[in-house]
Structure 1
Amino acid sequence: MPKNLFGFVLLMGRHHQIAIAALSILLFLAGTAPLEVQRRIINAATGGASYQAILILVFAYLGLALLEGLTKLALNLYRGWIGEVAIRWLRMGVLAASECSRESPVDALAEGVQLSIVLAEAEPVGGFVGTSVSEPLLQAGILIAVGGYMIYLQPLMALAVAVVFLPQIGFVPLMQMAINRRVETKITVMRHVSEGMVRHVVTSDALDAQSGRVQRLFSTNMSIYRIKFTMNFLMNLMTQVGYVGIFALGGYYVVTGKTEIGTVVAFISGLAKITDPWGELVDWYRDLKVTQVKYALIRDASDAATTLRGEGVSRDEVPALTR
């Protein structure tokens, strides 16, 4: 297996990633245009324009929404297919390794690791392949396009919105590092649970050990939830502060005649369009860091199995290699 996660992504098909990236660029370009059409519809309605002109803008908005929706559908299906191809590759690789090792004695921990990879670990790692390149490109493209449009309309209001996201650049990576440590612990414990199931040993000590592992999984998951949802709470709070800034500055500009009501509405819609891709970008970053941890564990297990088959490592040495 490649040494790092992105090497694995390229192994699964770099030409597919280029095609997905092209769809992502088309999608974020198509997603920005409706904001301008929406602003023109509101200004036309409040400025006394003819109903025919408003109706033309409405149909233009509908056409852009349809284009955006169809492009997103194609992108999601393509990314899903790439992810499933990667999942199948990982699972078949582990199954092939287990078939090759049938003739030699294999420790229960090694079998437990193989079971854990096939049933649980392969799916999130392989699924990430489909979004590894397209997701940050798409969401960053939306942020840049919509942000640039907002700066064009009203620079000071755009600056007030941008300030809202700055604290997140600080606390998101720190909280994600804490989650990564817990994810690594979780995977290790799950592998030991699989090992216990493979052994088929039913004693009071074995049951107590399994119960302790299950309890540790519970505690680890709850710890991850606390950090993850606290992060979400802080991000949502920052978003609401952004709306407060738009209402305050936008209301002042409308009252003093420095801007149109359509501009304020465009900013409200724009913040919603920025909030969603920002959240998706943060989710992608979290998935990246977690998947890197998972991929490293799968790669180490694969390398250990390869070494075991190639060098004829004795049974007693297997746990140290696959742990």
Structure 2
Amino acid sequence: MPKSLFGFVFLMGRHHQIAIAALSVVLFLAGTAPLEVQRRIINAATDAAPYQTILILVLAYLGLVLLEGLTKLLLNIYRGWVGEVAVRWLRKSALAASEPSSEAPIDAVAEGVQLSIIIAEAEPVGGFVGTSISEPLLQAGILIAVGGYMIFLQPLMALAVAVVFLPQIGFVPLMQTAINRRVETKITVMRHVSQSMVQHVATNDALDAQGARVERLFSLNMSIYKIKFTMNFMMNLMTQLGYAGIFALGSYYVVTGRTEIGTVVAFISGLSKIRDPWGELIDWYRDLRVTQVKYAMIRDARAASEAPGGAFINDATTATGATEA
């Protein structure tokens, strides 16, 4: 297996990633145009323009929305297919590595790790392959296109919107690092659970150990939830501050005659267009960091299976002793 996660992504098909990236470019370009059409519809209505003109603009808006929706449908199906190909490859790789050999018999530890990889670990890693390049390209493209459009319409209002997103650049990486540490510990605990199930040991000590591992998983998951949803709360708060800035500054500009109502409506829609890709970009970053941890553990397990002795790596960290740093 390639050493890095993105090495694995390209192993699964460079040409597919190029095609997906091209669809992403088409999608973010198609998603920006409706903002300008929407602004023109509002201004045409408030300026008492002929209804035929408004109807043509509405039809153009519907056409752009249809193009955006169909492109997104095709992109999602394509990304899903690429991701499933990667999942299938990982599962078959784990199965091939566990084939019995006279030189390297498979023990319960190896079978437990193999079971964990096939059932739980392969899917999120393989699924990330489909979105690894197209997702940041798509969402960053939308942010740049919509942000540039907003700057063109009203630079000061665009600056007010941009300011509220700056704190997220600081707290998101810190909170994600804390999540990653817990995810790595969680995978280790899951492998010990699988190992114990394969061994079929039913002593009181073994059952107590499994119970302790289940409690450990509960504690880790709750810790991840707390950090994740606190992060979401802080991001949503920043977004609402952006809306407040648009309402306050936009209303002042309309009252003083420095802008038109259509521009304020376009900014409100534009912030919605920015909020979603910004959130998706943060989600992609979180998935990237977590998937890098998971991929490294799968890669190390596979490397250990190919080493002399032929057994999957046995993490020495115990289920109850792993730290929740």
Query: What TM-score do you get using the length of structure 2 for normalisation?
Result: 0.95
Equivalent residues of 1:86, 1:129 under 8 A apart: yes
Q: Is 2:22 aligned against 1:22?
A: yes
Q: Is 2:136 aligned against 1:141?
A: no
Equivalent residues of 1:301, 1:322 under 8 A apart: no
How far apart, in 2, do the equivalents of 1:251 and 1:102 lie? Answer: 78
How far apart, in 1, do the equivalents of 2:17 and 2:144 lie? Answer: 21
- 1:319 aligned counterpart, secondary structure: coil
How far apart, in 2, do the equivalents of 1:50 and 1:101 lie? Answer: 81
Match of 1:288 in 2: 288
Q: How far apart are residue 237 of structure 1 and its match?
A: 0.2
Deviations 1:240-273 (A, max 9, x none): 0000000000000000000000000000000000
Q: How far apart are residue 109 of structure 1 and its match?
A: 1.4
How far apart, in 1, do the equivalents of 2:315 and 2:202 lie? Answer: 24
Q: How far apart are residue 97 of structure 1 and its match?
A: 1.1
Q: Is 2:272 aligned against 1:272?
A: yes
Q: How far apart are residue 110 of structure 1 and its match?
A: 1.1
How far apart, in 1, do the equivalents of 2:226 and 2:288 lie? Answer: 20
- 1:237 aligned counterpart, secondary structure: helix
How far apart, in 2, do the equivalents of 1:318 and 1:167 lie? Answer: 41
Deviations 1:222-254 (A, max 9, x none): 000000000000000000000000000000000
User: What are structure 1's unaligned runs of at least 5 residues?
Assistant: none
Letter in 2 for 1:34: P
Equivalent residues of 2:98, 2:106 under 8 A apart: no
Match of 1:260 in 2: 260
- 2:79 aligned counterpart, secondary structure: helix
1:52-63 mapped onto 2 (5 Å cutoff): 52-63=52-63
Letter in 2 for 1:278: W
Q: CA RMSD in A?
A: 1.6
1:23-102 mapped onto 2 (5 Å cutoff): 23-101=23-101
Q: How far apart are residue 318 of structure 1 and its match?
A: 6.4
> 1 or 2, which has the higher helix percentage?
1
Deviations 1:60-100 (A, max 9, x none): 00000000000000000000000000000000010111124
Q: Is 2:235 aligned against 1:240?
A: no
Q: How far apart are residue 107 of structure 1 and its match?
A: 2.3
Q: Is 2:297 aligned against 1:297?
A: yes
Deviations 1:163-193 (A, max 9, x none): 0100000000000000000000000000000
How far apart, in 1, do the equivalents of 2:114 and 2:178 lie? Answer: 27
How far apart, in 1, do the equivalents of 2:187 and 2:135 lie? Answer: 25
How far apart, in 1, do the equivalents of 2:184 and 2:315 lie? Answer: 17
User: What are structure 2's unaligned runs of at least 5 residues?
Assistant: 319-325
How far apart, in 1, do the equivalents of 2:277 and 2:102 lie? Answer: 48
Match of 1:6 in 2: 6
**Count of equivalent residues:** 318
How far apart, in 1, do the equivalents of 2:230 and 2:317 lie? Answer: 35
**Identity of paired residues, percent?**
81
Query: What TM-score do you get using the length of structure 1 for normalisation?
Result: 0.96
Q: Relative to structure 1, is the Cα distance of residues 318 and 164 closer, same or farther in structure 2, using a 3 angstrom cutoff?
A: closer
Match of 2:198 in 1: 198
